[in-house]
Structure 1
Amino acid sequence: MSPADQQTSVESLLALDDEALVEAVQRQTFRFFWEGSHPQSGLAPDRRRIRAADGREPFDDLVAIGGSGFGVMAIIVAVERHWISREAAVQRLNAMLDVLVRATCYHGAYPHFMNGATGATIPFSRKDDGGDLVETALLLQGLLCARQYFTQDIPAEASIRNRINWIWDDMEWTWYQQDGRKLLYWHWSPNNGWGMDHEIHGWNECLIAYVLAAGSNRYPIDPVVYHRGYASGRDFVNGKTYHGIQLPLGQPYGGPLFFAHYSFCGLDPHGLRDRYADYWDLCSRHVRINREHCVINPGQFKGYGADCWGLTASDDPDGYSAHAPDNDNGTISPTAALSSLPYAPAEVVQSLRGFLSKHGDKVWQRYGFVDAFNEGRDWFADTFLAIDQGPIVVMMENHRTGLLWKLFMSVPEVQTGLRRLGFSSPHLGS
């Protein structure tokens, strides 16, 4: 991929068949992680602005740990689809690991944000200035996929595998039980200890953290931590019906759609079951509820419909919010629908074409779709966020080829974690 490549026009996109259109969206969105990454380390920025694409916005050093995990997965897609060379990808990943292996960590966990040049922590908030377990899990999801993919017997790829193993084995999952309690905690800081007091209960995006914690070689959690911790939150069991669709687990109406994306960039939901749910069925129902809400449009927001839907956490006219059917201010986030391609292919392609035909260059830019828009308030984001762009590339690829699902589900430690927690999956065999 050459930096000189120009943005694919909206007219050209709409002329493509569905398969070619999806690839074009993937490829342009990947630019965020390739051209828009930190100039030294290649780690993913938390966000970029439209004007950054033409070089008019200076790059600061803040990078996002979870977003960088999605970026690693996007790089694997780019190699497989020949958008970049394998050699260029290996060089980029080793540059990322150069910083990650020397970065400040907190009993193995990385902070939410850090300096992409030095690895020093950049506080997320006054007390959130230490380890972030969930962001670290999202990073490890990507790194473990890279460990499975870059298997050639050459020094540069061996360096990737070896250093990912060091990072993985150093993660002290049991520390984040806060003195042996039967659940995981999101944050710990040497300055503020457990002051954030953020217990990780489900149903939400954090399943990936519990699976990895259960599969750790050195610091595995006991399965009871999953069953009494994650599976015991007040928003875990649901069972109610929304818009005629019953929801087994989760918040009212399912919550923001990233719950169906983040953990499932790596975890293949097809046939994934435990005592609580069938996770393909759960995520599919969540997507259907979210879409049906936008079609019915009880808030009478401008633009909503079968070709314009998708509520999730994103920027909005008033800042940032976790948009959902019960927290709806008229803001549509393209990543919500586009990252749902595996669960509702025809409906997602309909919305993809709707975004382009209705809004054109207001939503389609150098790094793919802008983060969000609110037609009723004539507001279109000038931002792209790593945690929103990444799942678009990855989940679209999972729908097309299952690439990241196959890699992640083949990780021995992931299989161990799933088995220990009582999951079944076609990837686990009999």
Structure 2
Amino acid sequence: MIKRILRAALAGAWLFSTGIACAAHAPASTTANGYETLPPAQRAAIDDLEKRTFQWFWDSADPKTGLVPDHYPGPSFASIASVGFALTAYGVGVERGYVTRAQAIDRTLATLHFFNDAPQDDSEDGATGFHGFYYHFLNMQTGKRHARGVELSSVDTTLLLGGVLFAQSYFDRHTAREKEIRDLADAIYRRVEWTWMQPRAPLISMGWTPGGKFIKADWKGYDEGMLVYVLALGSPTHPIEDGAWAAWAKTYPQTWGEFQGQTFLNFAPLFGHQYSQAWIDFRGIQDAWSSEHGLDYFENSRRATFSQRAYAIVNPNHWTGYGENVWGLTACNGPGDAVVKRNDGSTRAFYGYTARGAGRDYVSDDGTIAPTAAGGSIAFAPEIVVPALMEMKTRYGDAVYGQYGFVDAFNPSYDTSLTPAEGRAVPGMGWADDKQIGIDQGPIVLMIENWRSGLVWKVMRKNPYVRKGLQRAGFTGGWLDKAR
């Protein structure tokens, strides 16, 4: 499981029914009041999905440490990125009335105390992190590095920090416990030595291990690493140099172009468009590159969402079920590595966890649909996402939707007698996972709330470190130019 996840992450780094047809540009955004104008049945379905997905984080987290499993139900190691999504989801839970503010404070304080106090050193097995960064996966019981080979992860630490800084800005009342949250969050963020993670400055390495030292790959080009640079530029203690954002964006021309009727900065799996934007509101703010191309990163991700739907409609590999309301490729679980011979002599290849996607940069598609690909894009393109979520739930029922919302993934084309390595075979349907993954649940709940109320975006706009990071990256305009 660990090797599959790390392999997918590195691959990704390198590299309402409407019936609207994809044109050269996605239709103008209608997100302003879209939730309020939904028919009652659709609004109720979105409410239900948000609540169930939030509950996954609340139920799966260890209340004593705040650690959140990578996958659940079932035994699992902890994912620090899942913790970042959880810390943010707790604020959503307060605003929606799922939990009280006091309950969220308790859980947030437990989490921040754990990460503030956890051992940081260069030992192979006795630490939780080093130089302010944390290991990608931690043991759920001890809180230390889960296994040899698990890297000190710059991007997963960043996703954790997204939740840490959300908590810092959300819990803003003048009480001792909320002040404690702010102080702990500040200490955790300030401790991160971003410049240490730059063996090839001005770029930032993907990670480090005690045995292998720095990973040879750096974050560069358009992907989920955008937030890494924003937070590294915003640091008051260990900031990276001014030219880092330009170095990160230098490879943009390689993936800018047309795919399935949309012209945009491509990144094949949709998680690359969702993760940074779950926390940062890129609407109306532009850096040098986006200004030159006449769009913002939000619009870019909107086009990416439309392109994935168009790809599913074309369905070049003739997978079962694909269409205008069943679509969505991103990193997710799958039935397992298998090559199946069909009656006509052709073969079908299926995979386990991998960075599925469709874009100008690459296509990886084995018929596995991940509901988070659509659900986490709801703020970008609700007019095509809502009918997709409704259709997947209606068509496949409790095979794909249950106590915690959608399962991580499903594959209607898995019509083989082979026992899947993950999940379960569903007679008459294909394959469906039997669990959820935290980094796929996170975008669903955060982006539903951003679409409904803008909560996470509004809170993060107030954070001085996020604002500073964006400004140092060269972003101007919109809310960023307004007084807080």
TM over 0.5: yes
Alignment of 1:191 with 2:228, yes or no, is no
CA deviation vs aligned residue, 1:34-91 (integer Å, no higher than 9, x gap): 0122253232100013xxxxxxx4x55x211011101111111000111100000101
**Structure 2 runs not aligned, ≥5 long:** 1-37, 119-127, 291-295, 337-351, 415-429
Question: What's the counterpart of residue 33 of structure 1?
Answer: 57
2: CA distance, partners of 1:284 / 1:202 = 18
Following superposition of structure 1 onto structure 2, how do residues 326-345 of structure 1 map, counting pairs within 5 Å? 326-345=363-382
2: CA distance, partners of 1:213 / 1:382 = 37
Question: What's the counterpart of residue 289 of structure 1?
Answer: 307
Amino acid at match of 1:322: A
Alignment of 1:428 with 2:480, yes or no, is yes
1:244: Cα distance to partner? 1.8
Question: What's the counterpart of residue 279 of structure 2?
Answer: 266
Amino acid at match of 1:153: H
Alignment of 1:173 with 2:194, yes or no, is yes
1:343: Cα distance to partner? 1.2
Partner SS, residue 379 of structure 1: strand
Partner SS, residue 175 of structure 1: helix
Partner SS, residue 31 of structure 1: helix
Partner SS, residue 353 of structure 2: strand
Amino acid at match of 2:452: R
Retained in 1: the 8 A contact 2:379–2:451?
A: yes
Question: TM-score under structure 2 normalisation?
Answer: 0.79
Which residue among 128, 141, 146 is the counterpart of 2:150? 128
Question: What's the counterpart of residue 394 of structure 1?
Answer: 446
Retained in 2: the 8 A contact 1:43–1:68?
A: yes
2: CA distance, partners of 1:266 / 1:272 = 14
Partner SS, residue 391 of structure 1: helix
Retained in 1: the 8 A contact 2:269–2:356?
A: yes
Amino acid at match of 1:24: D
Retained in 1: the 8 A contact 2:285–2:480?
A: no
Partner SS, residue 413 of structure 2: helix
Amino acid at match of 2:353: Y
Retained in 1: the 8 A contact 2:299–2:380?
A: no
Retained in 2: the 8 A contact 1:172–1:219?
A: yes
Change beyond 3 A, Cα 1:236–1:396: farther
CA deviation vs aligned residue, 1:343-373 (integer Å, no higher than 9, x gap): 1112111111101110000001111100000
1:237: Cα distance to partner? 4.1
Following superposition of structure 1 onto structure 2, how do residues 402-421 of structure 1 map, counting pairs within 5 Å? 402-421=454-473
2: CA distance, partners of 1:143 / 1:165 = 8
Change beyond 3 A, Cα 1:117–1:159: farther
2: CA distance, partners of 1:241 / 1:92 = 45
Following superposition of structure 1 onto structure 2, how do residues 31-430 of structure 1 map, counting pairs within 5 Å? 31-49=55-73, 57=74, 59=75, 62-103=77-118, 104-123=128-147, 126-129=148-151, 131-178=152-199, 181-194=201-214, 196-228=215-247, 230-233=248-251, 237-247=254-264, 249-250=265-266, 254-277=267-290, 278-318=296-336, 319-325=352-358, 326-377=363-414, 378-429=430-481
1: CA distance, partners of 2:389 / 2:145 = 37
Kindly tell me the number of residue pairs found equivalent between the two proteins. 397
Partner SS, residue 171 of structure 1: coil
1:117: Cα distance to partner? 4.0
2: CA distance, partners of 1:183 / 1:428 = 25
Partner SS, residue 128 of structure 1: coil
Question: What's the counterpart of residue 20 of structure 1?
Answer: 44
2: CA distance, partners of 1:114 / 1:102 = 15
Question: What's the counterpart of residue 11 of structure 1?
Answer: none
Change beyond 3 A, Cα 1:215–1:15: closer
1:157: Cα distance to partner? 1.4
Change beyond 3 A, Cα 1:158–1:116: farther
1: CA distance, partners of 2:401 / 2:145 = 33
Amino acid at match of 1:359: Y
Retained in 2: the 8 A contact 1:40–1:117?
A: no
CA deviation vs aligned residue, 1:220-246 (integer Å, no higher than 9, x gap): 111212212x1123x654332122211
Retained in 1: the 8 A contact 2:312–2:324?
A: yes
2: CA distance, partners of 1:284 / 1:343 = 5
Retained in 1: the 8 A contact 2:139–2:145?
A: yes
CA deviation vs aligned residue, 1:103-151 (integer Å, no higher than 9, x gap): 232111011011344331113xx4434x211001101111111111111
Retained in 1: the 8 A contact 2:42–2:390?
A: no
Retained in 2: the 8 A contact 1:213–1:417?
A: yes
Retained in 2: the 8 A contact 1:272–1:280?
A: no
Partner SS, residue 152 of structure 1: coil
Retained in 2: the 8 A contact 1:200–1:206?
A: yes
Question: TM-score under structure 1 normalisation?
Answer: 0.89
Partner SS, residue 52 of structure 2: helix
Partner SS, residue 333 of structure 2: strand
Partner SS, residue 218 of structure 2: coil
1:427: Cα distance to partner? 2.0
1: CA distance, partners of 2:48 / 2:141 = 31
Deviating more after overlay: 35-44 vs 199-208: 35-44
Partner SS, residue 316 of structure 1: coil
| Cα root mean square deviation, aligned | 1.7
1:92: Cα distance to partner? 0.7
Change beyond 3 A, Cα 1:128–1:115: closer
Retained in 1: the 8 A contact 2:137–2:150?
A: no
Deviating more after overlay: 94-103 vs 206-215: 94-103
**Structure 1 runs not aligned, ≥5 long:** 1-13, 50-56
2: CA distance, partners of 1:294 / 1:174 = 42
User: In percent, how many aligned pairs have the same letter?
Assistant: 37
1: CA distance, partners of 2:278 / 2:39 = 29
Amino acid at match of 1:66: A
Partner SS, residue 240 of structure 1: strand
1: CA distance, partners of 2:110 / 2:253 = 40
